[in-house]
Chain A
Amino acid sequence: MSKIKHLQKLLETKEITCIELTERYLQNIERQNKVINAYINVTAEEALETAKKVDERIAAREKLMPLEGIPMSLKDNISTKGIETTCCSKMLQGYYPIYDATVWETLKNQNSVLLGKTNMDEFAMGSSCETSIFGVTLNPHNTDYVAGGSSGGAAASVKGNMAVYGIGSDTGGSIRQPASFCGLVGFKPTYGTVSRYGVVAYASSLDQVGPITDSVEDAAIIYDCLSSYDPKDSTSVGSKISTRDKIKDGIKGMKIGIAQEFFEGISKDIKTSLEEAIKVYQDAGAQIIHFEMPKLNAVLPAYFIISCAEASSNLGRYDGIRYGYKTDSYKDINEMICKNRSEGFGKEVQRRILLGTYALSSGRYDAYYKKAQNLRYSIIQDFKKIFESCDIILTPSVPVTAYKKGKALVDPIEIYMMDICTVPANIAGLPAVSVPCGFDKNNMPIGMQLIGNSFEDYKVLNAAYQFEKLTKKTGVSYTGPEVEI
Chain B
Amino acid sequence: MSYELVAGLETHIELSTKTKIFCQCTTEFGGEPNTHCCPICMGMPGTLPKLNKKVVEYAVKAGLATNCKIRNISKMDRKNYTYPDLPKAYQISQFDKPICYEGFIKLSSGKNIRINRIHIEEDAGKLIHERGDTYIDYNRGGVPLIEIVTEPDFRSIDEVHEYLEKLRLIMKYIGVSDVKMQEGSLRCDVNISARKKGEEEFGTRTEIKNMNSLNFIAKAMEYEFGRHVDILESGGKIEQETRRYDSALNITESMRGKEDADDYRYFRDPDLVNIIVSEEEIKKLKDELPQLPDEKLDIFINEYGLPKDDAELLIKYKKIAEYFEEASKDIKNKKLISNYILSQIFRRMPTDSDKEECSISLPPEYLKELISLLENKKINSSMASNALEKMLDTGKPVSEFISQKDMQGIDEDTLREICMRAVTENKDAVDSYLGGKEKAFGSIIGYIMKETKGKADPQKAGEIVREIIKSF
Chain A interface residues (CB < 8 Å from chain B): 77-79, 85, 87, 92, 95, 97-99, 101, 196-201, 203-205, 231-235, 309-310, 312-313, 316-319, 321-323, 333, 337, 357, 360-362, 365, 369
Contact = CB atoms under 8 A, between A and B. Distances in A.
Contacts of A365: 265, 267
Given A316-B80, A321-B136, A98 B271 contact: no
A234 B48 contact: yes
Nearest to A197: B48
Contacts of A319: 82, 84, 89
Contact of B46 (A201, A333, A337): A201
A310 B45 contact: no
B39 A99 contact: yes
Nearest to A95: B45
A342 B50 CA distance: 32
Contacts of A369: 267
B265 A101 contact: no
A361 B48 contact: no
Contact of B87 (A79, A198, A317, A360): A317
A234 B273 contact: yes
A98 B48 contact: no
Interface of B: 39, 42-51, 78, 80, 82, 84, 87-90, 134, 136, 263, 265-267, 270-273
Given A309-B267, A310-B270, 14 more contacts: A98-B44, A99-B39, A197-B46, A197-B48, A201-B46, A205-B270, A231-B50, A234-B51, A234-B273, A235-B271, A235-B273, A313-B80, A362-B263, A365-B265
B75 to A, nearest CB: 12
A79 B84 CA distance: 23
B80 A98 contact: no
Contacts of A233: 48, 50
A97 B80 contact: no
Nearest to A85: B45
Nearest to B42: A322
A322 B88 CA distance: 11
- Residue among B45, B263, B267 with max Cβ neighbours from chain A (10 Å): B45
Nearest to B43: A317
9 contacts: A77-B46, A92-B45, A97-B44, A97-B45, A234-B271, A235-B272, A313-B89, A319-B89, A357-B265
A201 B78 CA distance: 15
Contact of A360 (B47, B51, B265, B271): B265
B200 to A, nearest CB: 29
A234 B49 contact: yes
Contacts of A79: 44-46
Nearest to B84: A321
Contacts, number: 95
Contacts of B273: 234-235
A417 B413 CA distance: 113
Contacts of B270: 203-205, 235, 310
Contacts of A333: 84, 134
A357 to B, nearest CB: 7
B50 A232 contact: yes
B45 A200 contact: yes
A361 B45 contact: no
B219 to A, nearest CB: 31
A219 B80 CA distance: 38
A255 to B, nearest CB: 32
Contacts of A309: 267
A196 B47 CA distance: 9
B195 to A, nearest CB: 28
Given A204-B270, A235-B271, A313-B267, A196 B42 contact: no
Contacts of A205: 270
B89 A316 contact: yes
A302 to B, nearest CB: 14
A317 B45 contact: yes
B47 A197 contact: yes
A375 to B, nearest CB: 15
A337 B86 CA distance: 13
Contacts of A232: 48, 50
Contacts of A235: 270-273
- Minimum-distance CB pairs A-B, first 4: A316-B89, A205-B270, A360-B265, A204-B270
A333 B39 CA distance: 23
Contacts of A200: 45-46
B94 to A, nearest CB: 15
Contacts of A316: 80, 82, 88-90
B46 A199 contact: yes
Contact of B80 (A99, A199, A323, A360): A360
A196 B48 contact: yes
A33 to B, nearest CB: 25
Contacts of A203: 270
Contacts of B136: 321
Contacts of B88: 316-317
A369 B267 CA distance: 9
Nearest to A341: B82
B446 to A, nearest CB: 76
Contacts of A87: 45
A365 B266 CA distance: 9
B397 to A, nearest CB: 51
Nearest to B127: A333
Given A204-B270, A235-B273, A319-B84, A313 B47 contact: no
A91 to B, nearest CB: 10
Given A319-B82, A322-B87, A97 B43 contact: no
A198 B47 contact: yes
A317 B89 contact: yes
B19 to A, nearest CB: 14
A92 B45 CA distance: 10
A95 B265 CA distance: 28
Nearest to A230: B48
Contacts of B265: 312-313, 357, 360-362, 365
A203 B269 CA distance: 11
Contacts of B84: 319, 321, 333
A99 B44 contact: yes
A361 B43 CA distance: 23
B9 to A, nearest CB: 25
A98 B271 CA distance: 21
Nearest to B80: A313
Contact of A98 (B39, B50, B89, B90): B39
A97 B38 CA distance: 12
A231 B46 CA distance: 15
A369 B39 CA distance: 30
Given A98-B39, A234-B272, A313 B46 contact: no
A282 B273 CA distance: 41
A365 B95 CA distance: 14
A312 to B, nearest CB: 8
Given A313-B267, A322-B87, A357-B265, A101 B46 contact: yes
A40 B50 CA distance: 32
Given A316-B82, A317-B89, A333-B84, A97 B46 contact: yes
A393 to B, nearest CB: 25
A355 to B, nearest CB: 13
A362 B258 CA distance: 14
Nearest to B261: A362
A76 to B, nearest CB: 11
Nearest to B136: A321
A413 to B, nearest CB: 24
Contacts of B50: 231-234
A282 B271 CA distance: 41
Contacts of A318: 45
Given A231-B50, A360-B265, A204 B271 contact: yes
A20 B450 CA distance: 104
A78 to B, nearest CB: 8
Nearest to B262: A362
- Residue among A79, A92, A317 with max Cβ neighbours from chain B (10 Å): A317
B7 to A, nearest CB: 26
A255 B46 CA distance: 38
